[in-house]
Amino acid sequence: MTAAAGLGAVALVAALVVDVPSTLGTAVAGVVAGLLAALSLFTAALRITPRPGHQSSSWRWLAAGSIIWLTGVGVRPVAEGTPFVLTFADVLLLVGTLLLAIGCGRTVRRPAYGRSLLHYATNAYVSAASLFTICWILVLGPVYAKAEEPITLALPVVCLLATCAVAPAVLAARSSGRRVGLAALLVLVAITVEELATAIGRLNVGGTTPLVAGVVAPAAFLLLAALPWAVRDRTAPVRSAPSAVVDGAPLALAGVATLVLGIHVFAGRPERPMAVLPIVVGSVVVVLLAKVFVLAMETASMRGTMESGERRLIHLAENAGDVVLVCDHDGEIREMAPSVETTYGYPARELVGRSILDYVHSEDAPAVQAALRAMTADDDQSPERQGACRVSCRVRAADGTWRPAESVATRHPREGEDLVLISTRDVSDQVALRNQVAHLTFHDGVTGLPNRAYFEERTREVLARRGPGRTAVVFVDLDGFTGVNDSVGHASGDYLLSQAARRLRAAVRPDDTLARWGGDEFAVLLESGSSSSGGSAVSGGPGAADAQTAIDLAERLVRAVSSEPFRVADRDIALTASVGVAFAEDGLPAGDLIRNADVAMTRAKELGGRRVEVFAAHMHADVVRRLELAADLQRALLANQFAVEYQPVVDLATSRVTAVEALVRWWRGSTFVPPQQFLGAAEDTGLIVPLSEWILREACREVANWRASSWDIGLSLNLSSRQITAPRFVETVEAALAESGLPASALTLEVIEEMLVEDAEEITSRLSELRALGVRLAIDDFGTGYASLAFLRQLPVDMIKIDPSFVSGLGRDETLTLLTRTIVRLGHDLGLIVVAEGIERPEQLELLREMGCTRGQGYLVARPMAARGVDSLMRTSLSPLQNTA
């Protein structure tokens, strides 16, 4: 296509050089140039891949306009002799020109010129009318006055209007299509020039159109034909004409036209050629007046909108919770919203002229001053210059209180003065809420003391700051609190905890941290003074004075709890305390220090309570060992590693076996674990309940089998407190008897005296239910407890078993012998069966027979044995006593 455009240029030059009629040469050049432009534009629209911002649509419009225009140029020589003022060739030229104008306008994706269609149209008309006036006065008017016949100027006027209509949009455009638009605009300008020259040629009597004027349009078409292929980078940005130049061009043209018109009038030129000017000038004046009127209406509307918006803003500022004010950069208040009286209690008029720094806390005033100074900084890139500046400060209210506030300051230029607009919000409620949430997060709601989270964080902080040698943790547990909630309710239990917290707080030092750890446990963090002796800072352990201070505090805590009963729900509740103390050591984390104090407290509780225990390393080892043992117990229960052995109970008078006591044995693989090593852990972890249920079912089944073989034998089982208080314990015993077929009277359940004192009401109720089933009851280790006689009267007991500590002293200790004799006589008087435990020597057996003790058991009688041993013993029909004899 570039080569074809070159050939067209050669043809155009040839038309200028070769001696051909001007009209025919112009037509040939126009046809060739328009045809080349059309072919080039159509080909570009079809072959170039469309993309965002592509101008293929505008090229099609330009190509269509070029074809129609070249058709009009081609038929113009034929239409020259028609009698019509506007020939059909002129119509084709008009249509082609309009299509070219549309294509030129579509080269710009989005018009960037003008505020409205009216503004766009009036500027185009003023520009076209001004140019027409200038051309009429300088060129057309004199020629038109000499013309013998008037002709129409519609074609050059339309071309002029089309050019003025699209020129502002193309000149102000910033898209890459502006290059094509400029070329199309150049074509319109060339067409306008050519048509103007043609009109002048028609007006001249016998004149012709200058050949040079006739080739302007073909040359512009050739440029348009080459442009789509010459421009490679269609996405590169292009510079546009300044909007001020584009907007001011119509007025500048009008000014030039007015100047030319004035010179023409004052020069005294003939008036006849100016007959058309009043119409043009009048229309321009009307258009300008209409534009001024519309602009005035738009200005009034904008002013009304601004005033309405300002009134709404003022109303919003007056009724909003925020305090809005305007001040200068020194802080002097220029305007103040009335809401300040509602928020802070100051009348707005009294604050005008005062400095805002007079009402800001002295600690926050430097930040406010810095913010005001930053908003006047010369650096326009500073954040304060680009947006709002936020400042938090405390503001003094009229009642003298300091209230936290959050302010937003923005620049507020007005009337040539750079001011600052500040919006201040009172955030007292939000700050109070945040403080309350923080307090609830780290404090206990019942006692008001710090909670576990606060205590742990405080311990870590103290260890990091003061070192281990001067820090200790004390744990306090309320003995006997478990039954308080059950007896007087949870509300009364919380009230008791609050009383205990007050007593403990009075016992600790002001610098110590007292917290509620959880439940009925409290924790104290001791921070010893720097004057503590003992060189703890060097050795890493507590000095003598530090250790004694911690132990003294622990003893005070015990006395504070147990000194007098707590008054709760119109009753006195006596509690004691178990206290554990742990000292910080080098490298010991805060969590381990707290754990050590808890372990020491647990040790104090296991030893009976109301005492102080200091942590030792073996305590933690014992806890770990017990946890491991509990896990092994659970696995052993699932793997059936337990077995039941039976120790015979004989009638001391007849040497007949009357019953067996079921004893549990644990074989961990091939290793025998003594009962005293695992029964305590089973009781603590609750595994004693399923273990005892298994022993009960197994022993009942075995003894029922023996009784089915005509052996009159009974079964004795020891019960733990946790087993008796377990849910559905009575139903479990009843189910074991039903499954095995063992009569209830053949089962004797043994309890120790301490169990009858602790939780006496619940224990007595459960044992009474068992007694109602027909099960026999026995008190084991009789004589070692207290209040035994009272329970013998309240509880229907069938048997008492003398503790082995009494039997071991028979024949050697007169006091023990006398006490044993008393217990035997007491049992006989109450109609109870008396069983002596721990018979190991023959003289013990003889003394018990002489005292009248009916039954006994021990290593002298028979050692615990498996079921096969009892079965063998029963089959020999021999008593153990006969065998030992």
**What is the 3-class SS of 226-243, one letter each residue?**
HHHHHCCCCCCCCCCCCH
Q: 3-state DSSP call for residue 654?
A: coil
Q: What pLDDT does residue 788 have?
A: 53
Contact 352, 333 (CB under 8 A): yes
Q: How far apart are CA 1 and CA 6, in angstroms?
A: 9
Cβ neighbours of residue 228 under 8 Å, at least 6 residues apart?
A: 1, 40, 41, 44, 48, 59, 180
Q: What pLDDT does residue 379 have?
A: 46
Q: What would the DSSP string read from start to end of 606-645? A: HTTSSEEEE--HHHHHHHHHHHHHHHHHHHHHHTT-EEEE
Output DSSP code: residue 275.
T
Q: If one looks up domain 320-432 in CATH, what number appears?
A: 3.30.450.20
Q: How far apart are CA 687 and CA 602, in angstroms?
A: 19
Between β-strands 747-752 and 776-782, what pairing exists: parallel, antiparallel or unpaired? parallel
Residue 240 β-bridge partners: none
478-491: b (≥16 Cβ within 10 Å) or e: bbebeebeeebeee
**Which residue in this structure is represented by tokens 């109602």?**
772
Q: What pLDDT does residue 182 have?
A: 76
pLDDT along the chain (885 residues), means of 10: 42 39 54 66 60 57 76 70 63 79 70 58 78 76 65 75 77 65 76 75 57 61 66 52 68 78 69 61 75 79 77 64 85 87 88 92 90 68 58 92 91 80 89 83 88 92 76 91 80 90 92 91 80 38 67 92 88 90 87 91 87 82 76 84 91 88 87 84 84 92 90 90 86 92 92 72 82 90 63 75 89 87 88 90 90 91 88 67 50
| Closest of 222, 220, 239 to residue 179, by C-alpha | 239
**What is the 3-class SS of 806-875, one letter each residue?**
HHCCCCCCHHHHHHHHHHHHHHHHCCCEEEEECCCCHHHHHHHHHHCCCEEECCCCCCCECHHHHHHHHH
CB atoms within 10 A of CB 421: 17
Q: What would the DSSP string read from start to end of 737-792? A: HHHHT--GGGEEEEEEHHHHHTTHHHHHHHHHHHHHHT-EEEEEEETSSSSHHHHH
Asked if CATH classification 3.20.20.450 holds for the domain at 643-664+689-884, the reply, yes or no, is yes
Phi, psi for residue 835 in degrees, rounded to 5: -120, 130
Q: Where are the domains of the chain?
A: 2-290, 320-432, 443-615, 643-664+689-884
Cβ neighbours of residue 537 under 8 Å, at least 6 residues apart?
A: 467, 469, 470
Q: If one looks up domain 443-615 in CATH, what number appears?
A: 3.30.70.270
Q: How far apart are CA 874 and CA 864, in angstroms?
A: 14
| Closest of 387, 365, 364, 363 to residue 375, by C-alpha | 387
Q: How far apart are CA 140 and CA 157, in angstroms?
A: 12
**What is the 3-class SS of 335-402, one letter each residue?**
EECCHHHHHHCCCHHHHCCCEHHHHECCCCHHHHHHHHHHCCCCCCCCHHHHCCEEEEEEEECCCCCE
Q: How far apart are CA 755 and CA 559, in angstroms?
A: 27
CA 668 to chain centre: 52
* pTM, to two decimals: 0.48
Residue type present at position 561 = V
Q: What pLDDT does residue 508 have?
A: 93
